[in-house]
């Protein structure tokens, strides 16, 4: 073997030393930590399932193999479309109606006294308990799922907007009254903009509850959607295909979270925003 010259040896040592700080910077960054944590979780999942679980139990390798086939399945695409559209429509209904009710509760004491405890009571009711009743009232179809989504997300929007309306600085209201602003100007021109940070927080929470509500309604009432797709593939021991649907729900939830963080940073500079 040909021995390395002293100059080449020093160059190699210098290069290896320069790589250490670069690796430390990569691991110390938020993206680097997320990638390392994700790799560790996936590796542990793969090893544990291979060592202790049945062959049909989902693991990262089988899920990765199943993704192209599932995405190309027309049944899966129809189920995903049905669930996501229901969640979006339900959130839109809850956002419009919940904002109005929340503003009324936050600024009108009689309304707050009348509804506060009823809203808190309904919020504490488990969705798994209310779905059978909603299915009886609205039928065992997409209407029951939409009603469940609205039920879950409406209450969250109302509670957050109500708290935001109550936190409006008194000087804002005094200035509006000094200029003889109409009640609707005070409500929608002063109170609502001040409550927007609370509204954004409510949307973030309501979106997660809406996804859970839609899936639970599909599981209990056998409504076509991702919940029923997950249930069917789990019971037929196709766990990898079922897990792809679970991943899609997670991606939608993370997408909403990222979108709300962007909207917070873009439109609410004083409120800031969390890094996704």
* Residue 201 and residue 80 share a domain: yes
Contact 147/178 with Cβ under 8 angstroms? no
What pLDDT, on a 0 to 100 scale, did the predictor assign at position 8?
47
* Residue 49 and residue 137 share a domain: no
What pLDDT, on a 0 to 100 scale, did the predictor assign at position 5?
55
What pLDDT, on a 0 to 100 scale, did the predictor assign at position 26?
52
Domain membership of residue 272 (yes or no) is no
Domain membership of residue 171 (yes or no) is yes
* Residue 17 and residue 117 share a domain: no
Domains in the chain, number: 2
Domain membership of residue 275 (yes or no) is no
* Residue 109 and residue 45 share a domain: no
What pLDDT, on a 0 to 100 scale, did the predictor assign at position 19?
45
Q: Which domain range does residue 156 map to?
A: 63-267
Q: For all residues of the chain together, what is the average pLDDT? A: 81
* Residue 216 and residue 81 share a domain: yes
* Residue 125 and residue 18 share a domain: no
Q: Give average pLDDT by consecutive 10-residue segment, the chain, 276 residues.
A: 51 50 57 81 86 80 88 91 93 91 85 87 85 86 91 91 82 74 73 82 89 91 90 89 91 88 75 44
What pLDDT, on a 0 to 100 scale, did the predictor assign at position 269?
60
* Residue 123 and residue 83 share a domain: yes
What pLDDT, on a 0 to 100 scale, did the predictor assign at position 22?
54
* Residue 192 and residue 82 share a domain: yes
CATH code (residue 83):
1.10.3720.10
Tokens of 22: 């670069």
* Residue 191 and residue 82 share a domain: yes
Domain membership of residue 123 (yes or no) is yes
3: left (phi over 0), alpha (psi -120 to 50) or beta: beta
Domain membership of residue 274 (yes or no) is no
Domain membership of residue 114 (yes or no) is yes
* Residue 90 and residue 33 share a domain: no
């Amino acid at each position: 073997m040909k021995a390395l010259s002293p100059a080449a040896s020093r160059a190699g040592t210098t290069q290896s030393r320069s790589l250490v700080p670069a690796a430390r910077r990569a691991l110390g960054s938020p993206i680097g930590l997320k990638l390392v944590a994700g790799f560790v979780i996936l590796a542990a999942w793969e090893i544990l399932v291979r060592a202790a679980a049945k062959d049909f139990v989902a693991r990262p390798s089988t899920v990765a193999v199943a993704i192209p086939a599932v995405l190309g399945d027309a049944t899966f695409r129809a189920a995903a479309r049905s669930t996501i559209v229901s969640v979006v429509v339900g959130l839109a209904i809850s956002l419009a109606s919940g904002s109005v009710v929340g503003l009324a509760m936050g600024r009108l004491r009689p309304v707050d006294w009348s509804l506060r405890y009823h809203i808190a009571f309904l919020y504490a009711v488990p969705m798994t308990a209310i779905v059978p009743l909603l299915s009886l009232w609205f039928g065992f179809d997409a209407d029951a799922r939409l009603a469940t989504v609205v039920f879950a997300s409406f209450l969250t929007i109302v509670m957050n907007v109500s708290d935001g309306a109550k936190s409006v600085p008194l000087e804002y209201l005094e200035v509006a009254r000094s200029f003889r602003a109409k009640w609707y100007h005070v409500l929608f021109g002063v109170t609502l903009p001040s409550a927007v940070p609370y509204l954004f927080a409510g949307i973030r929470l309501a979106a997660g509850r809406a996804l859970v509500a839609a899936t639970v309604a599909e599981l209990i009432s056998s409504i076509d959607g991702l919940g029923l797709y997950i249930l069917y593939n789990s019971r037929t021991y196709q766990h990898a295909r079922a897990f792809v649907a679970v991943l899609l729900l997670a991606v939608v939830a993370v997408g909403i979270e990222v979108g709300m963080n962007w909207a917070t940073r873009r439109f609410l500079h004083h409120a800031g925003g969390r890094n996704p």
